[in-house]
Amino acid sequence: MKGSLVTNHTVIFLCALIMLVLTAPTFAQEGFFRAENRNGVWWIIDPRGIPTLSMGVDNISYESDRVRGTGACPYCETLDKLYPDRNAWGLEALARIRQWGFNTIGAWSDPILWTHGVAYTVILDIAARAGADWQRRRPADYFDARFEKAAAEIAGKMCQPRRFDHMLLGYFSDNELRWGPEWGGKETLLEMYLKLPAGAAGRLKASEFVRDRYGNDIGKLNQAWGVSAASFDELPAPAASETYKSDAAQFLEILANRYFEVCERAVHAADPNHLYLGARFAGMPPEAVLRGARHADLVSINVYDFDPRPTVQAVFKATGRPVIVGEFAFRAQNSGLPNTRGAGPKVSDQAARAKAYADYVTRLESLPEAVGYHWFEWVDEPKEGRFDGENSNYGLVDIHDRPYQEFIETVKKVNAAALEIHQRAAKQ
């Protein structure tokens, strides 16, 4: 009788444990970097089990930006004169970011930096490698079986070999994909997918969605969208009717869910130990997209504002996922750079830049859901303009590898205080 009771209790306990495992969200594995809520505050938990934040720098790269149309690399030319080889530069760069209070190597950084005991991130560019065009703002066909195959192949090549690397923070699947009307064009993703070539999986999916919405009745669609289409096979650009906007939002959610589900499945199949960090949104995406982003372990978003809180709070409310800012920056007008192309607020000088950095980090890490921030970027862009014409003062160092010392002194102090600021978030 006693033995039977123990057995029954054991079975009940095991069943409860299994249910907990099956229903709990996955935020990577113990012994690796993972995300966890402790007493109402989200943290990155390091491999030793210590709560921290990811404080990083993007594009720490020897190659850096080349001048558009020439191939010239002003920063590379400087480094060639200052260091005996790339490895010597890399060790100095890592020593600097440690001294300045950063603990993460951000996206697009030189892979030679990844093996020196500093947490690092990898950007996979899954959509970009599967046909998306960042400069022309064209998405890939996420419903095409080739997209799913490409995601699996990329993850197999880039994630599987790193699955036991304890210094890897996690993977970004892409950067600043198009999710709707924006600076690259006014078309919705529904409209863009309906314009894909005949027979394309995405076009078939969009057409099927529209046909189902209107019971295959073109008259009902014409009335709802304010168009005069002869058939579902050739739909003209719709008017801005509220019904069309609603339809476009519903299709966008299906599309985003497909993208993030495929990426999450590919990443975690190849590497179940590390975090899937999302797709680095370019500012606040539509809420329909955020609902799809729940497949990610963390949501990453680039926020070029003085105050990131409204955006980060809205992202967390929609997703329930902790948030990491993948890019932010401020540009000083007295830096000697044009600052005519590029995102982010402009300020008068390096002192104002330092204050903007301090205010931003303090505001961000006062939020329980904010688990880190990555500065864009290591070195200034060329004054002549990089591949897309950007020519701004984003660097911690200038094109001659000289730190902006006044700015850096504040960066050091703020980074050192960030954990305490975040710890107090539970009381606010």
Domain residue extents for the chain: 2-188+239-427
Question: At residue 151, does pLDDT exceed 50?
Answer: yes
The predicted-structure confidence for 347-370, as pLDDT tens digits, reads as follows: 999 999 999 999 999 999 999 999
Beta bridge mates, 57: 105, 375
Residue 19 has pLDDT above 90, yes or no: no
pLDDT of residue 196: 92
Give the pLDDT band (50/70/90) at residue 27: low
Residues 82-113 have pLDDT tens digits of 999 999 999 999 999 999 999 999 999 999 99
Percent of the residues in the chain that have a pLDDT greater than 70, as a whole number: 93
- The predicted-structure confidence for 198-253, as pLDDT tens digits, reads as follows 999 999 999 999 999 999 999 999 999 999 989 998 887 777 789 999 999 999 99
Which candidate, 62, 176, 168, 172, places its Cα nearest to that of 109? 62
Q: Of 180, 176, 100, whose CA–CA distance to 134 is shortest?
A: 176
Inform me whether the pLDDT recorded for 291 exceeds 60.
Answer: yes
- Cβ-based burial of 374 (10 A; exposed 0-12, middle 13-18, buried ≥19): buried
Cβ–Cβ under 8 Å, residues 154 and 123: no
The pairing of strands 370-375 and 346-347 is: unpaired
Distances (CA, A) of 242 to 190, 226, 232, 298, 357: 14, 10, 20, 32, 40
pLDDT digits (tens, 9 = 90+) for 380-423: 999 999 999 999 999 999 999 999 999 999 999 999 999 999 99
| pTM value surpassing 0.75 | yes
The pLDDT score that the predictor gives to residue 17 is 37
Q: The domain 2-188+239-427 belongs to what CATH superfamily?
A: Glycosidases (3.20.20.80)
For residue 377, is the peptide bond before it cis, meaning its omega torsion is within 30 degrees of 0?
yes
